[in-house]
């Protein structure tokens, strides 16, 4: 039964439903990994369930050491670097967990629009008449 995606069980035939393609990525979107950081540090306070960092295995209390080739001093550097990448990009995130360092491959997703309030809107540009 080569090439056929079906199962026969007790005389009934089941055909697999097609898997929908991933939605097209927004060409203006910025990268996002889904972590919250303790103020003034690089210590991860929480990891959003279902987001890229969570899927990669990053945990709360991990300390960010490296993001790609960047060795950040403050979290704003992490945000800038991750936002400079497009959704779908895979980036190495190195963290200190207890006494050991771990490197995770994180596949970025789209940064939620609410984080970009004031930076970007879905409203078209308006021409103001003179």
Give the Cα separation of 102 and 86 in Å (integer): 24
The token duo for 34 is: 């889904």
Q: What is the pLDDT of residue 54?
A: 97
Residue 2: its pLDDT value, please? 44
Render each residue's pLDDT in the chain as its tens digit; 130 residues: 444 444 444 555 555 656 555 555 566 688 999 999 988 899 999 999 999 999 999 999 999 999 999 999 999 999 999 989 999 999 999 999 999 999 999 999 988 877 765 544 455 545 555 5
Q: Decide if 95 contacts 105 (C-beta within 8 A).
A: no
Distance CA 26, CA 122 (A): 11
pLDDT score recorded for residue 27: 62
Q: CATH second-level architecture of 31-111? A: Roll (2.30)
Label residue 61 left, alpha or beta by phi (over 0 means left) and psi (-120 to 50 means alpha).
Answer: left
pLDDT for res 29: 81
**Cα 110–chain centre separation:** 6
Domain boundaries, the chain: 31-111
């Amino acid at each position: 039964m080569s090439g056929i995606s079906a199962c026969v069980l007790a005389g009934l035939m089941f055909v697999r439903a097609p898997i929908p393609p991933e939605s097209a990525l927004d060409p203006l979107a910025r990268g996002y990994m889904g972590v919250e950081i303790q103020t003034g540090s690089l210590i991860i306070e929480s990891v959003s369930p279902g987001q890229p960092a969570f899927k990669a295995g990053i945990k709360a209390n991990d300390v960010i050491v490296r993001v790609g080739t960047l060795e950040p001093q403050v979290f704003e550097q992490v945000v800038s670097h991750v936002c400079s990448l497009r959704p779908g990009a895979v980036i190495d995130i190195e963290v200190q967990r207890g006494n050991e360092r771990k490197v995770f491959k994180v596949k970025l997703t789209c940064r939620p629009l609410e984080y970009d309030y004031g930076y970007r809107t879905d409203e078209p540009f308006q021409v103001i008449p003179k």
